[in-house]
């Protein structure tokens, strides 16, 4: 059976969107609805499986075979997905990579060879092919060592290692005059052993995170602390902890699935003080404030100060004596942010100034409506 992708692979995969499709499938009831949701999830995840398969290209196996193995692993992941155990993309990646590794283990190396030497053997073979075409002769060991920037001893070991690269059929007899096949003698997978590579990769990636993010991850997953407990220990808000934890986990997941992990962005590092920006524009009796950033306990004070200052400025000016606040750049606002807005509203009423709030995202609009700020929610002037 050949599985075909229902959508083209793109350079950038929207992992959160794929997780959302998986959640929709997991919670769908009814045979027909669930079948349609499953088909949609499989189609949406095909590029994801293809990207994981491409990580193993150039290792002696046809790319078509690797893609088929990855897609079969994807089907297993879809059928076994349990939303209570975590995000679909993380579970699917582990399942697909496991299938690919088993494929190589069963079809390529005839004896155990260290992973580093397997990879070097493949690199030596590739370099030898390219240099033979260029030099019109077989390259020498020193030439290969210089090309790959390794020791000559390593090149010799890699050439010897290549002798172990022999495909074995699982259907071949285990021994002469025996009905048992080689595949019958293979034991179950050692889950702990298969996780070694992933653990080493995670350990190396954790070292690339800032100290604050590493500490939050340690408190959450090794200390088994809640986000509220972590917030109390670090002296920041629970929402801030949630944001930092989500950001770190997203980076780790994408780095685990990438051949060349992106560097942790400077704005996410230790210098990130989680600040908001409030830009003021004056037009006579109208002052407009454009707010950008997440407004919570850690960032509400600058917003409160900007509102009170704007009210004082407008109070002594001719009509319309109005302060218009644009929250288009605010994805999240909590009780501390609402309190800052209420402080600005109270000051505006006392000074005879009109305060209006507009350009809100869905979540922010809902929060302000619940807080009773509907009367001042409107689109600010341009």
Question: What distance lies between CA 341 and its chain's CA centroid?
Answer: 34
Against a cut of 0.75, is the pTM above it? Answer: no
CATH of 15-107, one of 3.90.1150.10, 3.40.30.10, 3.40.640.10, 1.20.120.1810: 1.20.120.1810
Structural contact between residues 37 and 24, judged by C-beta atoms closer than 8 angstroms: yes
pLDDT recorded at residue 171: 61
Q: Would the CATH topology of 15-107 be identical to that of 277-376?
A: no
Closest by Cα among 96, 115, 95 to 105: 115
320: preceding bond cis by omega (within 30 degrees):
yes
Q: What span, in angstroms and rounded, lies between the C-alpha atoms of 122 and 161?
A: 10
Q: Give residue for tokens 């172990």.
A: 164
How many CA atoms are closer than 13 Å to the CA of 62, on its beta-carbon side? 3
Q: Tens digit of pLDDT for each residue in 275-322?
A: 788 999 888 788 899 998 888 877 888 899 999 998 888 888 888 889
Residues of the chain with pLDDT under 50: 1-10, 266-273, 380-382
pLDDT recorded at residue 7: 41
pLDDT recorded at residue 104: 73
What tokens does 314 get? 């407008």
The class level of CATH for 202-268 reads: mainly alpha
What tokens does 346 get? 């109270």
CATH of 277-376, one of 3.90.480.20, 3.30.750.24, 3.30.300.30, 3.90.180.10: 3.30.750.24
pLDDT recorded at residue 267: 47
pLDDT recorded at residue 336: 82
Domains in the chain: boundaries = 15-107, 202-268, 277-376
162 contacts: CB under 8 Å, gap ≥ 6? 121, 124, 125
pLDDT recorded at residue 254: 79
Q: What span, in angstroms and rounded, lies between the C-alpha atoms of 99 and 229?
A: 39
3-state secondary structure (DSSP) of residue 227: helix
Structural contact between residues 360 and 331, judged by C-beta atoms closer than 8 angstroms: no
pLDDT recorded at residue 191: 58
pLDDT recorded at residue 1: 38
272 contacts: CB under 8 Å, gap ≥ 6? none
pLDDT recorded at residue 153: 85
Q: What span, in angstroms and rounded, lies between the C-alpha atoms of 129 and 11?
A: 29
pLDDT recorded at residue 189: 58
Ramachandran area for residue 174 (φ above 0: left; ψ -120 to 50: alpha; else beta): alpha
Structural contact between residues 285 and 311, judged by C-beta atoms closer than 8 angstroms: no
pLDDT recorded at residue 190: 59
């Amino acid at each position: 059976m050949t599985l075909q992708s229902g959508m083209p692979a793109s350079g950038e995969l929207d992992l959160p969107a794929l997780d959302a499709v998986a959640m929709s499938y997991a919670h769908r009831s009814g045979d027909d609805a669930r079948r349609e949701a499953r088909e949609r999830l499989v189609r949406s995840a095909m590029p994801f499986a293809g990207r994981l398969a491409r990580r193993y290209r150039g290792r002696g196996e046809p790319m078509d075979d690797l893609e088929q193995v990855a897609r079969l692993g994807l089907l297993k992941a879809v059928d076994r997905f349990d939303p209570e155990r975590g995000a679909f993309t993380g579970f699917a990646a582990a399942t697909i990579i496991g299938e690919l590794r088993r494929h190589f283990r069963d079809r390529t190396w005839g004896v155990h060879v260290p992973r580093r030497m397997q990879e070097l053997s493949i690199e030596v073979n590739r370099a030898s092919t390219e240099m033979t075409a260029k030099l019109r002769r077989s390259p020498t060991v020193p030439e290969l060592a210089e090309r790959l920037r390794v020791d000559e001893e390593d090149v010799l070991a890699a050439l010897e290692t290549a002798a172990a690269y022999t495909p074995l059929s699982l259907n071949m007899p285990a021994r002469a005059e025996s009905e048992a096949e080689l595949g019958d003698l293979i034991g179950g997978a050692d889950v702990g052993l298969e996780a070694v590579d992933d653990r080493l990769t995670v350990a190396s990636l954790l070292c690339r995170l800032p100290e604050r993010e590493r500490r939050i991850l340690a408190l959450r997953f090794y200390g088994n602390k809640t986000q509220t407990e972590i917030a109390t220990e670090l002296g920041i808000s629970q929402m801030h902890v949630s944001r930092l934890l989500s950001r770190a986990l997203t980076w780790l997941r994408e780095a685990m699935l990438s051949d060349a992990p992106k560097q942790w962005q400077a704005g996410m590092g230790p210098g990130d003080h989680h600040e908001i920006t409030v830009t003021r524009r004056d037009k006579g009796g109208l002052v407009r404030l454009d707010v950008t950033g997440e407004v919570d306990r850690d960032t509400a004070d600058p917003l409160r100060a900007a509102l009170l200052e704007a009210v004082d400025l407008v109070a002594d000016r001719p009509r319309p004596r109005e302060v218009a606040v644009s929250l288009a750049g605010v994805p999240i606002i909590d009780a501390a942010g609402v309190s800052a807005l209420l402080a600005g509203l109270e000051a505006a009423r006392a000074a005879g100034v009109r305060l209006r709030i507009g350009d809100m995202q869905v979540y922010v609009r809902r929060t302000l409506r619940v807080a009773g700020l509907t009367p001042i929610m409107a689109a600010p002037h341009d």
